[in-house]
Amino acid sequence: METLAPLDTLRGDYRAMAVDWTVPQDLDSYSTEDQDVWRLLAERQTRLAERHACAEFVQGLRTLGISEAIPDFAEVNRRLEPLTGWRVVGVPGLIPDQAFYDHLAHRRFPVTVWIRRRSEIDYLVEPDLFHDFFGHVPLLSNPVFADYMQLYGQRGIEAGPSIDLLARLYWYTVEFGLIRTPAGLKIYGAGILSSASEVRHAIEGKDVERLPFEASRVMRRPYEIDKLQHTYFVLDDFRQLFEAARTRIA
């Protein structure tokens, strides 16, 4: 969701990508250490999600069979596509905004194919397989959220010079969103759910703003990518996201 740096400065192998920035997932390329890192992260974050994530996310984990092994994108697509029409596609790492939005607009979610090292368990700069898949894909099994993500992609294609405002909407909803439920305050944002420290900070942090969601206010709020968030916006219902995505941004 930011300006793409020169490819030779990015992590990931961009040599084999197609014109749409996708690459095949080679399951055999993942080492035992890669699988161990996935398992460590999946076990930890699943426990946190079962306690702090919204019910739709937890149901998505179960429906898609996300487990202790690095997921096979093809197998996940066989479960996901009949539910909401979405598919997972592999990408080498960060991709340009316009390619990202085009994938979303056509119900394709780009997932980075490489996974972090053990030394990066708690933090890394560029999104990896675990963040992209565990954080984002479960909610794509929910019809309401799935429709919002496609609409967001369509708005991204149309946004032009106002793209920064739309990027803030993505940051404060898809990445760092909270929602109020009958069971209390819950998380749906991928940036929170893929990070143990962010989960605790978002729900229990004392020096944190948790503001009622209002699209125009969200789009005026800058964000920082390299630290725990100071501000979260709280939905009352996922359907608020549709009104937000249609908000005039020019």
Q: Are strands 184-187 and 178-181 parallel, antiparallel or unpaired?
A: antiparallel
Tell me the pLDDT tens digit for each residue of 39-94.
999 999 999 999 999 999 999 999 999 989 999 999 999 999 999 999 999 999 99
Q: What is the pTM of this model?
A: 0.94
Q: Which residues of 53-90 are buried (b: 16+ CB within 10 A; e: fewer)?
A: bbebbbebbeebebeeebbebeebbeebeeebebbbbb
Please, how many CA atoms are within 13 Å of residue 24, restricted to the half-sphere of its CB? 5
Give CA–CA dist 89/111, Å, rounded: 6
User: Taking Cα atoms as reference points, which of 188, 168, 192 lies closest to residue 244?
Assistant: 168
**Side chain identity at residue 61, one-letter code:** L
Provide, rounded to the nearest whole percent, the portion of the chain with pLDDT above 90: 82
Report the candidate in 134, 114, 116, 138 with the shortest Cα–Cα distance to residue 125.
116
